[in-house]
C-alpha cells in the first residue's frame, strides 16, 4: 500500500516541478538532446548497443559521483576484463564529462524518471547484471524493479548528511523497506554507517571501507601546464602568487574580491582566479568583480593575447583541476556562504594549501582526517578567511607543510574503491 501512495503522489510532484526543470534545461542546456531518455526512450544506436549483452548499471547523480563511478568501472574491469557498463547521470554537466571520459565499450544515458512504467521499460532494455548506486540515490521503483528481477542492488561510497538524515528518518516507512533490498551497503564513515542502519539497512550488509574520493588518480606531471599557459597569455608573471576560489557559490566571490583588494597592497604580484560552481553564473560573477572595482575576463572568451585583467573567471568545463595545480592558495567553495562544501581532496592532491569555511557537512569523514593531520585550514567567517589567506600568502613554508600533510593523508587512505569492488563481487 505504501508504494501505491508513492506512485500516486510522485507524478503529481514531478508535474509541479516540471516548470523548474524546463527552466534549468533552457538555462544550462544539454538536456534537450537526450530528453527522451528521461522516459526510457532511446535512439536506435543506443538500443542496439544495449542489446549486445548484459551490462552492470551504475548510477551517479552529478560530477562528484561521476568520478567515483568512473574509477569504480576502471578498478572493476581490472579484475573482470570482459565487463561492460551502463552509466546513468542526472545532470547535463555530468553527462558532458562522462561523454569525454567513459570507455567506448560502455553506454551513457540520462537517468529515467522514477515511474513504474518508465522503469519497467528501462529494465527491459538494459537487463542489467547488477545495479550499483553511487552515494545515496534511493529511488523506490528503481530499487524495487531490480529486486523483483533478481538483480543485485549495491550502494558504494554512501554518505548521509545532517539534513538528509533528518529527511530520511521522516520517511523511514519508505527507507527501511528499500534499504533491506540493498547489499552491500558501503558507507564512507562510521557516522554514515550508523545513520543508514537507523534508517533501516540490515547491519550485516553495512560496510565502512572509507571514502572513494581519496582514490583520485595521481596527478599528471604536467597537470598545471594548461592553466599556466592561460595565465601567461594574460601576462601574469611566472612568479606571481595565485589565489584560487574553486567551485564558489554566491557571496564567496565577493568575499574573495574584498580580500584580494586588501592583500594586493602587500602582494602586488597576487592574481585572483575564480571558478564558480555553475558556469551559467558567469555574468553575476563578473558583476560582483566590477562592483569591487576590478576588471575581469572570462576563460570562455579568451583567445590569443589579451590585456592583463585583475581577475580571471574560469567558466569552462573540465579545467578546475589544472587551475588547482597552478595555484598557491586555494579556497574551496560552498563552505563560507552556503552549506555542504565542495571536495577539498582535489586541490590537496596537488599539495596545495587549502582553506575551507565552516560549512563542510558533505565531507565529515574527510574533514576529520584532514584536521587531525593539520592538512588544511578551516575558518569560521570572512575575517578569519582573510587572516588565513594573508598568513599563507606570506609563508611559503606553511603552504608547503599543509600541502605535504594533505598528500600524506590521501596516500595513506588510497585503495577504497578496490575494497568496494571486492564487496560488490
Same domain, 318 and 206: no
Examine residue 4 and state whether it is found in any structural domain, yes or no. no
- In a domain, residue 199? The reply is yes
Asked if residues 406 and 354 have their Cβ atoms less than 8 Å apart, the reply is yes
Number of domains in the chain: 2
Residue-wise pLDDT tens digits, 46-71: 999 999 999 999 999 878 788 899 99
Q: Does 180 share its domain with 262?
A: no
Rounded average pLDDT over 17-22: 64
Query: Is the same domain home to 172 and 299?
Result: no
Q: Name, of 7-11, 354-358, 410-414, the range with top average pLDDT.
A: 354-358
Provide the percentage of residues in the chain whose pLDDT is more than 70.
93
pLDDT at position 275: 98
CATH of the domain at 389: 3.40.50.2000
Sign of the dihedral defined by the CA atoms of residues 369, 374, 376, 381, in that order = positive
Would you place residue 27 in the very low, low, confident or very high pLDDT band (cuts 50, 70, 90)? low
The pLDDT score that the predictor gives to residue 22 is: 62
Domain membership of residue 244 (yes or no) is yes
- Domain assignment present for residue 58? The answer is yes
| 21: enclosing H helix or E strand | helix 2-28
* Domain co-membership, 248 together with 320: yes
Answer yes or no: do 163 and 251 share one domain: no
Is 24 part of any domain? no
Q: What is the CATH number of the domain that holds 115?
A: 3.40.50.11720
Q: Is the pLDDT of residue 151 over 90?
A: yes
* pLDDT above 60: residue 30: no
Q: Quick one: 193 and 239 in the same domain?
A: no
> Residues 346-371: pLDDT tens digits?
999 999 999 999 999 888 889 999 99
Q: Are residues 229 and 194 in the same domain?
A: no
CB 176 within 8 Å of CB 199: yes
Averaged pLDDT for residues 194-201? 96
Same domain? For 202 and 278 the reply is no
pLDDT class of 102 with cuts at 50, 70, 90: very high
The confidence score (pLDDT) of residue 11 equals 65
Are residues 363 and 309 part of one domain? yes
In the predicted structure, residue 29 carries a pLDDT above the cut 60: no
**How confident is residue 136, by pLDDT bands cut at 50, 70 and 90?**
confident
Give the pLDDT confidence of 82-93 residue by residue, as tens digits. Answer: 999 999 998 888
Position 22 in a domain: no
When pLDDT is cut at 50, 70 and 90, the band that residue 175 belongs to is very high
Are residues 332 and 260 located together in one domain of the fold? yes
In a domain, 369, yes or no: yes
Domain membership flag for residue 50 = yes
Angstrom distance (rounded) from CA 326 to CA 330: 10
* pTM as predicted: 0.76
Q: Which of 151, 95, 97, 99 is nearest to 122 (CA)?
A: 151
* Rounded Cα–Cα distance for residues 298 and 303 (Å): 10
DSSP assignment string, 153-193: EEEEEE---HHHHHHHHHTHHHHHHHHTT---EEESSHHHH
Predicted local distance difference test score (pLDDT) of residue 28? 56
Contact, 349 vs 407, CB < 8 A?
yes
On average, the pLDDT of the chain sits at 91
**Domain span including residue 231:** 225-412
> Does 242 lie in the same domain as 163?
no
If asked whether residues 298 and 201 sit together in one domain, one would say no
- The arithmetic mean of pLDDT across residues 307-326, rounded, is 93
Amino acid at each position: 500500500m505504501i508504494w501505491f501512495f508513492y506512485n500516486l503522489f510522485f507524478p503529481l510532484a514531478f508535474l509541479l516541478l516540471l516548470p523548474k526543470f524546463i527552466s534549468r534545461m533552457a538555462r544550462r542546456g544539454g538536456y534537450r538532446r537526450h530528453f527522451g531518455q528521461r522516459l526510457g526512450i532511446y535512439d536506435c544506436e543506443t538500443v542496439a548497443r544495449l542489446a549486445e549483452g548484459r551490462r552492470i548499471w551504475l548510477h551517479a547523480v552529478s560530477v562528484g559521483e561521476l568520478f567515483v563511478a568512473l574509477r569504480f568501472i576502471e578498478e572493476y574491469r581490472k579484475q573482470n576484463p570482459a565487463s561492460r557498463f551502463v552509466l546513468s547521470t542526472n545532470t547535463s554537466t555530468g553527462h558532458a564529462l562522462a561523454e569525454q571520459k567513459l570507455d567506448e565499450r560502455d553506454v551513457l544515458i540520462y537517468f529515467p524518471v522514477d515511474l513504474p512504467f518508465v522503469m519497467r521499460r528501462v529494465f527491459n532494455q538494459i537487463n542489467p547484471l547488477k545495479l550499483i548506486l553511487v552515494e545515496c540515490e534511493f529511488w523506490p521503483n528503481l530499487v524495487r524493479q531490480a529486486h523483483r528481477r533478481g538483480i543485485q542492488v549495491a550502494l558504494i561510497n554512501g554518505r548521509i548528511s545532517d539534513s538528509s538524515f533528518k529527511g530520511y528518518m521522516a520517511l523511514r516507512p519508505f527507507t527501511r523497506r528499500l534499504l533491506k533490498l540493498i547489499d552491500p551497503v558501503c558507507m564512507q564513515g562510521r557516522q554514515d554507517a550508523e545513520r543508514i542502519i537507523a534508517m533501516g539497512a540490515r547491519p550485516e550488509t553495512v560496510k565502512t571501507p572509507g571514502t572513494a574520493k581519496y582514490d583520485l588518480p595521481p596527478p599528471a606531471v604536467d597537470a598545471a601546464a594548461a592553466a599556466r599557459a592561460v595565465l601567461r597569455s594574460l601576462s601574469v608573471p611566472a612568479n606571481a602568487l595565485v589565489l584560487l576560489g574553486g567551485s564558489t557559490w554566491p557571496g564567496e566571490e565577493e568575499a574573495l574580491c574584498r580580500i584580494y583588494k586588501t592583500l594586493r597592497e602587500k602582494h602586488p604580484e597576487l592574481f585572483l582566479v575564480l571558478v564558480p560552481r555553475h558556469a551559467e553564473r558567469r555574468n553575476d560573477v563578473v558583476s560582483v568583480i566590477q562592483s569591487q572595482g576590478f576588471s575581469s575576463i572570462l576563460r570562455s572568451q579568451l583567445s590569443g593575447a589579451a590585456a592583463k585583467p585583475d581577475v580571471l573567471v574560469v567558466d569552462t568545463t573540465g579545467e578546475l583541476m589544472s587551475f588547482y595545480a597552478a595555484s598557491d592558495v586555494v579556497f574551496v567553495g560552498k563552505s563560507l556562504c552556503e552549506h555542504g562544501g565542495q571536495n577539498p581532496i582535489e586541490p590537496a592532491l596537488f599539495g596545495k594549501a587549502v582553506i575551507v569555511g565552516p560549512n563542510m557537512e558533505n565531507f565529515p569523514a574527510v574533514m576529520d582526517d584532514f584536521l587531525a593531520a593539520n592538512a588544511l585550514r578551516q575558518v569560521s567567517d570572512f575575517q578569519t578567511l582573510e587572516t588565513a589567506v594573508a598568513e599563507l600568502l606570506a609563508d611559503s613554508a606553511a603552504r608547503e607543510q599543509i600541502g605535504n600533510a594533505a598528500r600524506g593523508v590521501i596516500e595513506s587512505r588510497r585503495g577504497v574503491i578496490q575494497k568496494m569492488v571486492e564487496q560488490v563481487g
